[in-house]
Amino acid sequence: MSSKSDLRAAVEELAPVGVVATLLNLSQQILVLPRYLDGGGAVFIDSGAFTAFQKGVEVDWAKVFSVYDTVLGHTERPEGVSIVAPDVIGDQAASLALWAEHAAKVRIWAQAGARVIVPLQRGWLSAGQMLERAVRIFGTDRICAGIPSNLEAMSPEDCSTLRHHDFHILGRVRLTSELRLKLCALLQNNPAAQYTADANWLRSRIRQISGAAAAFREAGRQWPLDSTRTRAVREVLRCEAYSQLKKSTFPSQAFA
C-alpha cells in the first residue's frame, strides 16, 4: 500500500495492512504502524524483492532491515507483524547465501515474535530440503514457509516435500487450477498448518473506490482532513471488506 490515503483508511478501519518496506516514510514507521499494531492491527511488510527483480535492480537490504527494525522496535505487539526474509527471486543459491549472511537478523526478528516469511526458491534442493536448510541456518523453526504462487516457481510435486506448521502463498494470488493442486499437496501433508496468502483486495476494487470517490466529490467535503480517496477506501472497506478482514489473525498483503 504505497498510497498514504489507502493506508490511512485501512488503519482507521482496523483492516489488515500490507505495505512495501522501502515505500514507508519515517512517520509511518515510528507512529502510524506501531500505534495501529498496539491497537490490535496486523501488518504485512514486504521486502520489495519481486519488484526489484522485475525492474532488474538490486534490493537495498540495509534499508529494508532498517524499516523492519524500526517498526518492530516501536510496537508492543511484534507478533502482529509479518515480514519477508531476504531472498533473490528465482535463485536458490543466492537466496541461501543471503540467509547465511543475515541469519542473526532473522533470528532476532523471530525471537522478538515477528512472523518471518522465508521465500522458498526453486533449485537443486527440493522445497522440503530448502526449508530444512533454512531452519538450520536460522537456528529456529519459528519461521513461515513462503510458497510462490507461480506454478513455474514451485510445482505441486515440490510442495509435497514440505512438512511445516506455517505457510504463506506469495504473489498475486488467484485460485487457479494449478494453484489448487499446490494447495492440495500442502494440505495433504500439513492439514493442521496455518495458511495465509497475498491478495489484491484493493486493486480488484478500483472501480468501486473510483465510484465512491466521485460520489464524495459531488457531495462536497465533510471532513477537511480526509481526501476523497481516503473516504472512498474507507467506505468500501466498511461495506465489503472489513467484516471479513477483521477476523484474520495474520495479515495478507491485502493492499500491495
Q: What is the DSSP string of 92-150?
A: HHHHHHHHHHTHHHHHHHHHHT-EEEEEPPPSSS-HHHHHHHHHHHHT-S-SEEEEESS
The SS3 call for residue 84 is: strand
How many whole angstroms separate alpha carbon 34 and alpha carbon 49?
23
**All cell numbers assigned to 124:** 537443486
Give 215's pLDDT tier (boundaries 50, 70, 90).
Answer: low
Summarize pLDDT for 167-178 with one digit per residue, the tens.
Answer: 998 876 667 788
- Residue 2 pLDDT > 70, yes or no? no
- Residue 230 pLDDT > 60, yes or no? no
Task: Answer whether 0.85 is exceeded by the pTM.
Answer: no
Looking at per-residue pLDDT, the higher value among 9 and 229 belongs to: 9
Burial class (CB in 10 A: 0-12, 13-18, 19+), 25: exposed
Phi, psi of 166 (to 5 degrees): -150, 125
- Residue 254 pLDDT > 60, yes or no? no
Q: What is the mean pLDDT of the segment spanning 231-238?
A: 44
- Residue 86 pLDDT > 80, yes or no? yes
Return the pLDDT at 65. Answer: 98
DSSP 39: T
How many whole angstroms separate alpha carbon 37 and alpha carbon 247?
15
Phi, psi of 42 (to 5 degrees): -130, 135
The SS3 call for residue 58 is: coil
Considering only 59-73, 87-101, 123-137, 174-188, which range has the smallest mean pLDDT? Answer: 174-188
Looking at per-residue pLDDT, the higher value among 126 and 171 belongs to: 126
Return the pLDDT at 222. Answer: 52
Report domain extents, the chain.
4-245
Residue type, 166: D
How many whole angstroms separate alpha carbon 125 and alpha carbon 109?
26
Kindly report the average pLDDT of the chain as a whole number: 80
Strands 115-119 and 166-170: unpaired
Q: Which CATH architecture has domain 4-245?
A: Alpha-Beta Barrel (3.20)
The SS3 call for residue 1 is: coil
Return the pLDDT at 229. Answer: 44
Which stretch of DSSP H or E encloses residue 156?
helix 156-159
Q: What is the mean pLDDT of the segment spanning 4-25?
A: 79
- Starting at the edge strand that comes first in sequence, how are the strands of the sheet with 17-20 ordered? 17-20, 43-46, 81-84, 115-119, 144-148, 166-170, 194-197
Considering only 93-97, 134-138, 149-153, 237-241, which range has the smallest mean pLDDT? Answer: 237-241
Return the pLDDT at 7. Answer: 76
- Residue 239 pLDDT > 60, yes or no? no
Q: What is the mean pLDDT of the segment spanning 24-50?
A: 93
- Residue 80 pLDDT > 90, yes or no? yes
- Residue 3 pLDDT > 70, yes or no? no
Give 130's pLDDT tier (boundaries 50, 70, 90).
Answer: very high
What is the C-alpha end-to-end distance of the chain, expressed in Å?
Answer: 5
**All cell numbers assigned to 228:** 476523497
Return the pLDDT at 206. Answer: 38
